[in-house]
Amino acid sequence: MTTRAQPPAGNPGMLHMNLSYSGDAMRSSVSWCRTRASDEDSLNNRQHKHTVHELHYVCEGALRFDFSSAFPDVTCQAGEYIFIPAGIAHTIEDLAGFTKKLVIGFEIHSRSAAINETFNEVRAPMALRETPTFHALADALMLKSQATNVISSVSIACIVHTLLLELVDSVGENKKTQIKRLKQSEDSYRVNQIVTFITENVFNNITIGDVADALGLGVRQTSRVVQRLFGCSVNQLIVQTRLKEICALLTDSKYSIADIAEIAGFATPYSFSRHFSHYTGVTPSAYRKNYEIHRP
């Protein structure tokens, strides 16, 4: 660990430093670690940017970060923090009657892909909710930042280093959650896409090739997608959907068995009855009669 401390600026809540802390995963260089409260100093800042990364943790109140047209505005409430990569211009507005925050300026050097993706390769501000560990470390930093001695400064560098590693973990979990939600969203879209196409074309003798074309996928990929989402083959799904639509028609008394056979694409009512009985165990007439008996 390399330590190079500068004298504090006189305000016990404002510790200026130039400290480095090295661990197995990364080396963190802390340029400043400050606790600021709106009853002591205005937290509003005109547009500015830094040559180092900055992290703002709001422990009380609320702050809005304006990035002009470069990125959407971000509002951080108590218990939330924002990471602003180096070089991004921003304006800060205090939104509460009383706001207290911890702000850290730092640089990160690491060979870890996950750490570099979190800090040095990100090109946009990133806001997250605190974890219990992050909260405890931030509390310790706010207490330590009131001190003015070099020993406390060294311990601050160590705590900041640990807090930044916790941020990496939080970002990783957040990405996993986002990926899961995206996957769920994509799955929901695929399910709707498949069900809609098959339902609308179920009496047109469609094949797996037709379904694949509608999805814009290959036949093998379509087969894998349907198996994963529905637990059956494409042909089984077509048959199931076809039977479901036939059953719906059978519950409507305005259609005769012969009408339904024609709608469903069968050459004769007899071939329709054989097909329906094969998959359901009852004839179309028996199904309709049973429905009428049990209709509420």
- Eight-state DSSP code of residue 276: H
CATH code (residue 60)? 2.60.120.280
Are the C-beta atoms of residues 19 and 154 closer than 8 Å to each other?
yes
Task: Supply angle C-alpha 207, 211, 212, rounded to 5.
Answer: 110
For residue 196, is it within any domain?
A: no
Identify which of 281, 280, 291, 286 has the alpha carbon closest to the alpha carbon of residue 257: 286
Residue 121 in this model has a pLDDT that exceeds 90: no
Measured CA to CA, the distance from residue 256 to residue 60 in angstroms comes to 71
Are residues 154 and 211 located together in one domain of the fold?
no
Give the Cα separation of 72 and 236 in Å (integer): 47
pLDDT category at 134 given cuts 50, 70, 90 is very high
* Structure confidence at residue 8 as a pLDDT band (50, 70, 90): very low
* Residues 160, 231 within the same domain: no
Same domain, 94 and 208: no
Q: Are residues 166 and 214 in the same domain?
A: no
Q: Any idea what the CATH number is for the domain that residue 206 is in?
A: 1.10.10.60
22-80: per-residue pLDDT in tens? 888 899 999 998 899 999 989 999 999 999 999 999 999 999 999 988 899 999 999 99
Q: Is the pLDDT of residue 87 over 80?
A: yes
Q: Assess whether 27 and 149 both reside in one domain.
A: yes
Q: Identify whether residues 32 and 127 lie together within a single domain.
A: yes
C-beta neighbour count of 246 within 10 angstroms: 23
Compute and round to an integer the Cα radius of gyration of the chain.
32
Q: Which residues of 164-183 are buried (b: 16+ CB within 10 A; e: fewer)?
A: bbbbbebbeeeeeeeeeeee
Q: Are residues 161 and 271 in the same domain?
A: no
Q: What is the pLDDT of residue 4?
A: 38
Q: Is residue 197 part of a domain?
A: no
Same-domain status, 90 and 159: yes
pTM over 0.85: no
Residues 18, 91, single domain; the answer is: yes
Residue 189 lies in a domain: no
Strands (E), the chain: 3-4, 14-22, 27-37, 45-48, 53-60, 62-66, 74-77, 80-84, 90-94, 100-109, 126-129
* Run of H or E including 185: helix 150-201
In three-state secondary structure terms, 81 is strand
pLDDT at position 3: 38
- Residue 74's domain comprises 3-179
**Residue 187, in any domain of the structure:** no
Shared domain check, 102 and 36: yes
270 and 153 within one domain: no
Place of tokens 């016990």: 12
